[in-house]
Amino acid sequence: MCGIVGYVGKQKKAQEVLLEGLTNLEYRGYDSAGIAYVTNGKLVITKTEGKINNLKKIVIPCEANLGIGHTRWATNGKPNTINSHPHKQGKITIVHNGIIDNYAEIKEQLQKDGVTFKSETDTEVIAALLNQIYTKTQDINKSIVEFQKKVKGAYALGIIVDDDYNTLYAIRNESPLIVALGNDENYIASDVPAIIKYTNKYIELNNGDFAKITDSQIICYNALGKEIKKDIQEFPIESYDIDKHGYEHIMLKEIHEQPTVIKNTIGDYIDNNIDNLIAKMPDFSKYNKIIIVACGSAMHAGLVGKNMIEEFADIPVDVEIASEFRYKKVFIDNKTLVIGVSQSGETADTLKAIVKAKEKGADTLGIISKKGSSIARCVDFVLYTNSGIEVAVATTKAYSAQIALLSLIALNIANHKHNIDNKELEKILKSIKELPIQIERLLSNEACENYKNIAETLYTHNDIFFIGRGVDYALCMEGSLKLKEISYIHSEAYPAGELKHGTISLIEPGTPVVGVITDFEIADKTLSNIEETKSRGSENYLIITEELDNQYSKINKNYNTYNKVVIPNTHKLLQPLLAVVPLQMIAYETARFKGEEIDKPRNLAKSVTVE
* CB distance 36 to 9 below 8 Å: no
How many helices and strands in the chain, by DSSP H and E? 19, 25
Phi/psi for 50 (5° steps) reads 90, -165
| Residues in CB range of 375: below 8 A, 6 or more apart | 340, 342, 345, 346, 347, 350, 351, 354, 366, 368
Q: From CA 513, how far away is CA 463, in angstroms rounded?
A: 9
Instruction: Return the residue of 146, 485, 532, 539 that touches ligand AGP, per CB under 6 A.
Output: 485
Q: Is 586 in the site for ligand AGP (CB under 6 A)?
A: no
Among 83, 132, 350, 450, binds ligand AGP (CB under 6 A): 350
Annotation marks residue 525 as catalytic: no
The CB-of-521 to ligand AGP minimum distance in angstroms stands at 29
Name the residue nearer to ligand AGP (CB basis): 350 or 431.
350
Binder among 343, 387, 450, 538 for ligand AGP (CB under 6 A): 343
C-beta closer to ligand AGP: residue 92 or 251: 251
Q: Determine which residue in the list 344, 431, 480, 518 makes contact with ligand AGP, applying CB under 6 A.
A: 344
For ligand AGP, the closer of residues 352 and 564 by Cβ is 352
Among residues 192, 354, 499, 608, the one that binds ligand AGP under rule CB under 6 A: 608
x-or-dash string of contact with ligand AGP, 382-401, rule CB under 6 A: -----------xxx------
Nearer to ligand AGP, 340 or 470 (CB): 340
Identity of the residue, 65 or 395, whose beta carbon is nearer to ligand AGP in the bound complex? 395
**Under rule CB under 6 A, residue 342 binds ligand AGP:** yes
Name the one range near ligand AGP by CB under 6 A: 112-120, 261-269, 336-344, 535-543. 336-344
Footprint of ligand AGP on residues 267-326 (CB under 6 A)? 295-298
Residue 378 in contact with ligand AGP, rule: CB under 6 A: no
CB of residue 72 to ligand AGP, shortest distance in Å: 17
In this structure, are residues 342 and 367 in contact, taking their beta carbons and an 8 Å threshold? Answer: yes
Q: Judged by CB under 6 A, does residue 347 bind ligand AGP?
A: yes
Please tell me which residue in 51, 212, 397, 606 is annotated as part of the active site. Answer: 606
Q: Is the Cβ–Cβ distance between 513 and 562 less than 8 Å? A: no
Of residues 6 and 305, the one with the C-beta less far from ligand AGP: 305
Min dist CB 356 to ligand AGP, Å, is 16
SS (H, E, C) 449-495: HHHHHHHHHHCCCCEEEEEECCHHHHHHHHHHHHHHHHHCCEEEEEE
Nearer to ligand AGP, 32 or 607 (CB): 607
At closest approach, how far in Å is the CB of 486 from ligand AGP?
Answer: 9
Reported as type and span, the H/E element at residue 540 is strand 539-545
Question: For residue 6, which phi and psi values (nearest 5 degrees)?
Answer: -145, 155
The angle that helices 103-112 and 122-137 make with each other, rounded to 10 degrees, is 50
Pairing of strands 317-321, 227-228: unpaired
- Identify whether the C-beta of residue 567 lies closer than 8 Å to the C-beta of residue 577: no
* Window of 38-46, 344-352, 518-526, 587-595 that interacts with ligand AGP by CB under 6 A: 344-352
Catalytic residue among 2, 295, 378, 476: 2
Q: What share of the chain is helix, strand, coil (3-state, %, to 5)?
A: 40, 25, 35
Work out which of 23, 83, 607, 609 binds ligand AGP, going by CB under 6 A: 607
DSSP symbol at 31? S
DSSP character at residue 233: E
| Minimum distance, C-beta of residue 347 to ligand AGP, in the bound complex (Å) | 3
SS (H, E, C) 470-482: CHHHHHHHHHHHH
569: left (phi over 0), alpha (psi -120 to 50) or beta: beta
* Residue closest to ligand AGP when measured from CB atoms: 296
Q: Near ligand AGP by CB under 6 A, which window of 13-21, 83-91, 342-350, 434-442?
A: 342-350
Q: Pick the closer one to ligand AGP by CB: 397 or 534.
A: 397
| Residue span 202-231 as binding mask against ligand AGP, x where in contact by CB under 6 A, dash where not | ------------------------------
Burial 313-343 (b: 16+ CB within 10 A, else e): bebebbbbbbbebbeeebebeeebbbbbbbb
**For ligand AGP, the closer CB: 72 or 534:** 72
Count of residues that bind ligand AGP according to CB under 6 A = 15
Among the listed residues 235, 609, 193, 177, the one whose alpha carbon sits nearest the alpha carbon of residue 391: 193
C-alpha closest to that of 395 among 84, 537, 606, 205: 606
306 part of the active site: no
Under the binding rule (CB under 6 A), the answer on residue 190 touching ligand AGP is: no
Distances (CA, A) of 15 to 22, 60, 92: 11, 9, 19
182 alpha carbon, distance to own chain's centre: 28
- Min dist. Cβ of residue 262 to ligand AGP (A): 17
The strand pairing partners of 181, in sequence order, are: 186
User: Which residues here bind ligand AGP, judged by CB under 6 A?
Assistant: 295-298, 342-344, 347, 350, 393-395, 485, 607-608
Residues annotated catalytic, as ranges? 2, 606
